[in-house]
Copies of this chain bind each other. A is one copy, B any other.
Amino acid sequence: MQSVNLQEKFDLIDQYWSPRVAGELNGQYVKLAKLKGHFLWHLHEGEDELFLVVKGRLTILLRGEDVTLEAGEFLIAPRGVAHKPVAEEEAHVLLFEPKTTVNTGNIRDERTIAEPQIV
């Protein structure tokens, strides 16, 4: 049975805003993503999404309040709630969400990754 070293997996990711699958359990994915810059406003109609910062800092803009996460902190964005992730510097983030979750939620544009790769 194979353990997963987060740092080794992040080292393999060479694109920002491109979540990769690092584990699967109970119909959910553990994804890893390197983030830098501003993502788009979006929401997930039927899926809650967890962001755990492993390295760096991530701000999640919400309508009316922003939440900034440092390494070792997580936020659960509830289903239906619009959010916009922003990382002024490179951040390494672990996501936990249903397998069906698409990174851009209710929006489809050139940043949409419908079928994330395994890292």
Contact = CB atoms under 8 A, between A and B. Distances in A.
Contact of A72 (B6, B49, B69, B98): B6
B3 A96 contact: no
Contacts of A50: 23, 25, 30
- Overall SS of chain A's interface: strand
A25 B1 contact: no
Interface string A14-55: 000000000111101010000000000000000111100010
Q: How large is the interface on A (under 10, 10 to 19, 20 to 34, 35 or more residues)?
A: 35 or more
A13 interface: no
Interface string A61-90: 010010111101111111001000000000
Interface of A: 1-7, 23-26, 28, 30, 47-50, 54, 62, 65, 67-70, 72-78, 81, 96-98
